[in-house]
Structure 1
């Protein structure tokens, strides 16, 4: 199959030739992007672009190329009281939504209160567990009262702000706004044909600066090979590709290959409810028996780093380089022996008549997760584990979370709390959605994450995250595999491109085009 797809891609490249396809008549600067992900909706309340860089909305704060927080709708960075329980933001004056409505502090209050409303199906409500109250003493001031001191709270104020009046008498979950939004951002939504494309138009009345690129079209193509082919044929100005496909453009005239670091992990979630992986020794054996470096060298073509926890090496203040798993198949076998899972005459392990079985699921259209799943399955098979690999959907993966492992992705480079807390704390075990999908439960991990979350002392936080990483690598609830570098192919015709350490999400927002509103044609 790979050979056939390779010939398809090479054929497309041959048709496209060695240079960029000819351009049509000149017009207002426009860009077409081949995106691998399509949002479910465009409402920040429901979870759209919560970490900033939205093209349609602005948050109170945003991030620069170095990921430092910068004021956005706030005049300056929000200020915390000495006890860390009160955060105050003063709004920038003169900001209007794209429909001409002035921004008010009441819009900010409505946005955050709606996220926390139990009647609203927000996928990001858990991010704001610390919030007790949001108020507006006047039209320019927003005050957040917290239940406990929460040092990284400002990191969560990147959420886009919506106009309150758009939801008068309307159910937020089903509002027309969710697909035809109004924001304060540098672009507006001109058209959205679900499953196909979204067209953004420059907001020439933007309070900051009107974008030079006047039209941006995101074409949604989930299949990696299809995006590569359509990029080669000249349909796209830029696209995201797995490293091995992206490398086919190396040295090609008129194209630019971009490789950005990220905190985006891929990992094998190990179900704690499955009898085989309920044993910590088995989970440790699986982690020890996986050859992560081989995955990086082959599947990622060198574009990544090995992972052991969800805390990325790019979170250098918090990352513990000692928290690793050295590949040792012999040691992994001994751990399985010690756990009672012994090799039989057929080369397969069993215990008390039960086979050592761990199905591995991955989303069918994701070629990278498929390759990782196959590599993991191969490594585990060498240990005598029946690790059949199956393609399916995210919905079915969640339904089978107690009976099968799965290749998941996530992570961000902003703060270890957002990377680890909802993923591994036992309070989220069994809750719906993408939180603690493996039902992991370790009281020492809980204690370390709780201490780090609530302390205002950087030294205490740092030690708590070191404690967390040490405990977790002794009792892993996942087999975190790799942190990816995100790779892109672009037509070499734009100025303003800046590298940024990226999170998991790199569809419309946190990709190489994260600051597209500041780009200009060469």
Structure 2
């Protein structure tokens, strides 16, 4: 899943993985885990429970009422469920939209459970057909029934090259005939990679085995959309809700308010609660001002939550008297310095790696060990098969997310590649120009690259526009395109490398690591995917190292950590270790 938080700067029983992170506290306010980096790397997990039923178990002591404000720095490009593949919008949609499956937190584990479906799907003996059956009594916010045809239509819509350019690409790779399908408006009207057998039965036809399909159908792209209600580009202004909340007022680029959905039936939902009366999401907010106000908790700030990385200026508070207002935990995300390999040759990409000022950028961004740890790999350490390595960008210069680079060495590398003062290599990228921290980070980055001999064209863009700009593969930039990083979609590397690298990842029409297509890369991905899930792990780890050493499409930067700062009246905030963000469906307010 595409990373967002500081964009400015077979499936038979389970995947068989170790549980993630420590159990959440029971004090109703979060763990207050402000102890910093312990150096311990724990495994990620998502076991399966096909028998889970609604309603979700009540949170002890929880009360109903109030409006929870969620105020943070970045801004969604849109709120179209077909297009959204970002961490923050996934959390928002978890309140308003239901899919075939979903995740619940049980102690220290994330568990996949049925949501709109009666179970986690039934696979044919050859694994090429999966069947899901809808529960009875599921309705949209307007009271009309959800039908299997609506799930099928939503799945088809996720192929549209315009409406779903930033969405996932697993469906193109795995669904029968998906590689060439262009969605319900432009595509083959007879395409039946997904079909409805009747009002309750959805069937997926696959090109090859997809053991983790039950995880995939928890995504926004499988939230139902009635074809008759689809207004194409305008659908994002008010997508029909099936969850406990529905859109109330939405101002693109600025804010979104949610109110209760009167037609949500908790008896059908094993995962969600509806404790607050509503939610108010504010985007493009100043991180330091927001976090400072939340910790003071005057007025509305006492019922506000922020999920940006904690600023270094506030560490003494969250390690001291404000410890109970801070939650820290594992994240699923590795952050990268992305480069367009179509426009930047490999020797220059290596020079960028040597010049990159990791430490100074973190300092300018106010980041601390509470919010990150240095990375040297594409696959995060908690994923099975992770291979611990530090590749060399130049003899004696290892890429490990540390230090401030070597500008003299980078300048010599550029000279060896044929570039110099009379023929500088130009780096072009977008940065957020309406955020103080982002501007500071940009100045550090720009000065370091210029010192190394690059010509830098930094294009300022407001937060409300930047996500769209960096997600356009035809854009002006040649680096720092989306994704800034990647968060695993489920705890296996088949949800990391295939959706971010190679021809199939590019086929959706959005940006990828490197924006690069290569037959050798495609062949290796295909080879590994033909193995069982357990056999795939070590092979993905080897491919991680091979990609970095031979292609360097993106420079590993850091392993993200989940941070939440919340007001004194915000209760039961717990970090989701498979997302690095809080489970908003469990939060309540003390009025």
Alignment of 1:384-395 (within 5 A): 384-387=453-456, 389-392=458-461, 393-394=466-467
1:308 aligns with 2:345: no
Match runs of 1:227-238 below 5 Å: 227-228=290-291, 231=294, 232=296, 234-236=299-301, 237-238=304-305
Residue 515 in 1 paired to residue 584 in 2? yes
Contact 1:84 1:456 in 2 (8 A): no
**CA distance in 1 between partners of 2:210 and 2:75 (Å):** 32
- C-alpha distance in structure 2 between counterparts of 1:104 and 1:27, whole Å: 31
Uncovered stretches (5+) of structure 1, i.e. residues with no partner: 1-25, 343-348, 504-509
* CA displacement, residues 61-90 of structure 1 (integer Å, 9 cap, x when unaligned): 112333432221122212333433112212
How many residues align? The count is 475
- Separation of aligned partners in 2, 1:451 and 1:221: 42
Deviation at 1:352, TM superposition (A): 9.6
C-alpha contact 1:445 1:471 (8 A) present in aligned 2: no
Residue number in structure 2 paired with 1:473: 548
Report the alpha carbon displacement of residue 101 of structure 1 after superposing the two structures with TM.
2.0
Distance 1:433 1:286 in 2: 23
Give the TM-score normalised by the residue count of structure 2: 0.69
- Inter-partner Cα distance in structure 2 for 1:290 and 1:120: 35
1:355-399: CA deviation from partner (whole Å, max 9, x where unpaired): 244345423245555455444445445544445655334555547
**In the alignment, structure 1 residue 182 sits paired with structure 2 residue 249:** no
Name stretches of at least 5 consecutive residues in structure 2 with no aligned partner. Answer: 1-62, 177-192, 268-272, 392-398
Give, in angstroms, the shift of residue 517 of structure 1: 4.6
- Partner residue of 1:487? 563
Q: State the distance in 2 between where 1:361 and 1:163 align.
A: 35
CA displacement, residues 119-157 of structure 1 (integer Å, 9 cap, x when unaligned): 755532633112121122233221101122233322220
Deviates more, 1:321-330 or 1:282-291: 321-330
Report 1:193-204 matches (<5 A).
193-203=251-261
Q: Partner residue of 1:425?
A: 502
Distance 1:246 1:466, change over 3 A: same
8 Å CA contact 1:200–1:215 kept in 2: the answer is yes
The CA distance in 1 between the partners of 2:541 and 2:572, in whole Å, is 38
Normalised TM-score (structure 1): 0.77
Q: CA deviation at 1:164?
A: 4.8
2:233 aligned to 156, 164, 173, which one? 173
**Does structure 1 residue 224 correspond to structure 2 residue 300?**
no
Q: Equivalent of 1:126, from 169, 183, 187?
A: 169
Matches within 5 A, 1:51-66: 54-65=94-105, 66=109
Equivalent residues in 2 for 1:277-288, closer than 5 Å: 277-278=344-345, 280-288=346-354
Q: 2:210 aligns to what?
A: 150
Counterpart-to-counterpart distance in 2, 1:48 and 1:427 = 16
* Cα distance in 2 for residues equivalent to 1:473 and 1:224: 33
Distance in structure 2 (CA, Å) of the matches to 1:476 and 1:57: 38
Q: In structure 2, which of residues 330, 338, 341 is the aligned counterpart of residue 269 of structure 1?
A: 338
Asked whether the 8 Å contact 2:102–2:115 carries over to 1, the reply is: yes
C-alpha spacing 1:428/1:89, structure 2 compared with 1 (3 Å): closer
Residue 318 of structure 1 corresponds to which residue in structure 2?
385
Secondary structure of the 2:540 match is helix
Q: Who is 1:12 aligned against?
A: none
- Report the alpha carbon displacement of residue 255 of structure 1 after superposing the two structures with TM: 6.2
Q: Residue 63 and residue 385 in structure 1: after superposition, are their counterparts in 2 closer, same or farther (change >3 A)?
A: same
Match of 1:108 among 111, 132, 151: 151
Structure 1 contact 151–456 (Cα < 8 Å) conserved: no
CA RMSD of superposed structures (Å)? 3.7
Superposed CA offset, 1:16-53 (max 9, x none): xxxxxxxxxx9933322213344444432343778576
Which structure has the higher relative contact order (CA within 8 Å, separation 6+)?
2
1:59: how far off?
0.9
Partners of 2:342 and 2:265 in 1: CA distance? 52
Shift of 1:246: 4.9
1:200 partner SS: strand
The aligned counterpart of 2:82 is 45
| In structure 2, C-alpha distance between the alignment counterparts of 1:85 and 1:317, rounded to whole Å | 25
Q: Specify the structure having the higher radius of gyration (Cα).
A: 1
The worse-fitting range, judged by mean Cα deviation, of 370-379 and 140-149 is 370-379
Distance 1:419 1:152 in 2: 13
Mapped partners of 2:522, 2:314: distance in 1: 40
Give the SS at the match of 1:424. coil
CA contact (8 A) 1:448 1:467 kept: no
Q: Is the 8 A contact 2:82 2:157 kept in 1?
A: yes
